[in-house]
Amino acid sequence: MSCFKTPYYIAFIILLFIYHPVWGQNDSYRYLILFKDKTNSPYSLSQPDKFLSARSIERRRKYQITLKEQDLPVNPKYLQNVQKSGAQVLFPLKWINGALIQQKPKDLANTLSQEGVKGLYYSYPIDSSGSFQIKKKSPKLPELPEAYQTLSDSLDYGNSTTQISQLGVNTMHAKGFRGEGILITLLDEGFLNANNASFLQKAFTEKRILATLTTTPGLKDVYIQGSHGTHVLSTIAGFSPGKLMGTAFQAQFALAQTEEGNTEKIVEEVNWLRGAEWADSLGTDIISSSLGYTVFDLKLSNHSYSDMNGKTALSSLAAAWAAQRGIICTISAGNDGASSWKYISSPADADSILAVAAVDKSLLRASFSSWGPSADGRIKPDVAAMGQATVIGTYSGTISTSNGTSFAAPLIAGLVAGTLQANPNKSPWQIMQAIKQSGNQSTKPDNSLGYGVPNFNQIQKLLNPLLAISTVEKKRIQVYPNVIQLGDPVHLKRDTFEEITVELINNLGSVIYTFSWTGQQQDFYPPPLVSGKYYFRFTDKITQEVIPFYFSN
């Protein structure tokens, strides 16, 4: 599982999925078929309430998004014809005017001959030898990002303080924006025991889990298998004061199982499309997904780097279609930064979404975080959040830490939720732009961390200067001079007396010296160091600040 070709209307090549024996017979397969049109359908664009929720219709009205034929459901008559041919319709897919069906290969021709059926969806070009051409090139490694300060608030975040404060979400919470009224849909592997975990009980008892969806045939419950989704959900919805607090712990949630356990089949991208359509119909504000697709069990299905153009992989098309309908998508960039692949995976390559990289507690890039750019040259990832040693809740009910862009993406989803709540008159496109421009390397975005780690304070300043938090301009701690030579002291100054832990960190993220500071001023004489960039990290009970300086010998 990655947890982390041409569009459907062009040339066709078979898309075949072996049906998992746990759920059915070994000779049963899944196929993605397309229909010819949506004519003579009982559905009409003039009556969207027949196929969209009131919440979904309101989102379109609010953002002036016009309904189009792509939004119309598949013609029920065509689905009936397919069923009469002996195929089982697993689910229709309106955005591509198709359906995922289950059928024995010997009976497929009968289904394809039915009225209204156009043919099979072919998504991957195969050369004359029957194999894929996979082209890769080495990325240029960018420089490490700058660090910057955050503020504190009165909630007890426990060990999750760092991942919260890096994004300024503590200030967001203190301002009263905790995701209330915002619907976040997660597309993931499953949510094992999420309904029993103590750190998620607040969301369940307050009935803020609005809907669930399974896409694996025969699976009826999202809570009985697949722990990855539970861990992801905890970073947004978790509420365990003193241990773990999610970035939008008062939001509403919809949970979709689209990933299929220990196998990696390209049908999972079809499932992802199904989940995105479902999210749209519910009226979702944010889709967050910590899944990525590059390599599959069947090598003929593999993506090449050239496919990472936002226009080839079905999941990437689905993410772009969701974005067109006013849904902000936060997608994990991938965990292949140290592998031979190196690059982002689909659907992180989609246009108009937020692909999220991973940093550590010092705002330095995690080595596993996947690189950009997209194959067509766009900056990717878009932003970053803490994905190394992220505090999470586990399916067994414990609080732990884990690594992956899988956890960076939902942290950003919570930031998006609070930002939407704080700015109800701003469009999703304005919100996404402000989030990127608030990043700590927005003036020099790169293909390592994109625009960097965003911050709620700066987002508010960009979206509405009248709501800007002026105190963000004033550093809590002053460090000077900025360039230190051997034998010279670093001057530390602040306005408070509380005990604070000071760590000296090199540019690889390793702590090389630590001490406690209780006064307002202190001169610190660094030990002999190699010339280069270093960081001071100041940590108290509820906040953390990282300030860079340079050493020259």
User: Which is catalytic among the residues 20, 153, 160, 228?
Assistant: 228
Q: Is 523 exposed, middle or buried (0-12, 13-18, 19+ CB in 10 A)?
A: exposed
Active site (annotated) includes residue 351: no
User: Which is catalytic among the residues 2, 123, 153, 188?
Assistant: 188
Residues 6+ positions from 530 with CB-CB distance below 8 Å = 551, 553
Q: How far apart are CA 90 and CA 418, in angstroms?
A: 36
Q: Is 508 exposed, middle or buried (0-12, 13-18, 19+ CB in 10 A)?
A: exposed
Q: How far apart are CA 249 and CA 244, in angstroms?
A: 10
**By C-alpha distance, which of 334, 375, 330, 372 is closest to 353?**
330
Active site (annotated) includes residue 188: yes
What are the chain's domains? Answer: 16-120 (no CATH), 158-437+447-472 (3.40.50.200), 475-552 (2.60.40.3080)
Helix axes 456-463, 405-422, angle to 10 degrees: 40
User: Which is catalytic among the residues 85, 289, 301, 406?
Assistant: 406
Element (H, E) at 170: helix 169-174
Cβ(394)–Cβ(231) below 8 Å = yes
Under DSSP, is residue 374 helix (H, G, I), strand (E, B) or coil?
coil
Q: How far apart are CA 312 and CA 90, in angstroms?
A: 24
Q: How far apart are CA 29 and CA 108, in angstroms?
A: 10
- Tell me the C-alpha to C-alpha distance, in Å, between residue 451 and each of 145, 212, 354, 505: 9, 33, 11, 23
Under DSSP, is residue 297 helix (H, G, I), strand (E, B) or coil?
coil
Cβ(369)–Cβ(395) below 8 Å = no
Q: Which amino acid is at 47?
A: Q
Predicted model pTM: 0.78
Residue by residue, pLDDT tens for the chain (553 residues) are 556 632 322 222 334 443 333 334 445 689 999 999 999 999 999 999 999 999 999 999 999 999 999 999 999 999 999 999 999 999 999 999 999 999 988 899 999 999 999 998 865 333 332 222 222 233 333 332 333 233 333 579 999 999 999 999 999 999 999 999 999 999 999 999 999 999 999 999 999 999 999 999 999 999 999 999 999 999 999 999 999 999 999 999 999 999 998 788 899 999 999 999 999 999 999 999 999 999 998 888 899 999 999 999 999 999 999 999 999 999 999 999 999 999 999 999 999 999 999 999 999 999 999 999 999 999 999 999 999 999 999 999 999 999 999 999 999 999 999 999 999 999 999 999 999 999 999 999 999 999 999 999 999 999 986 544 344 344 578 888 878 887 888 889 988 878 888 988 876 667 788 888 988 888 888 888 888 778 888 887 656 777 888 777 6
Q: How far apart are CA 407 and CA 67, in angstroms?
A: 33
In 230-274, at which residue ranges do the beta strands (DSSP E only) sit?
239-240, 244-245, 252-257
Q: How far apart are CA 550 and CA 175, in angstroms?
A: 35
DSSP string, 398-448: -EEEE-SHHHHHHHHHHHHHHHHHH-TTS-HHHHHHHHHHTSTTTTS-BTT
Instruction: List 99's β-bridge partners, or say none.
Output: 33, 92
Three-point CA angle 417, 418, 424, nearest 5°: 85
Q: What residue has token string 């939008």?
A: 248
Q: What residue has token string 């067109």?
A: 324
Instruction: List 123's β-bridge partners, or say none.
Output: none
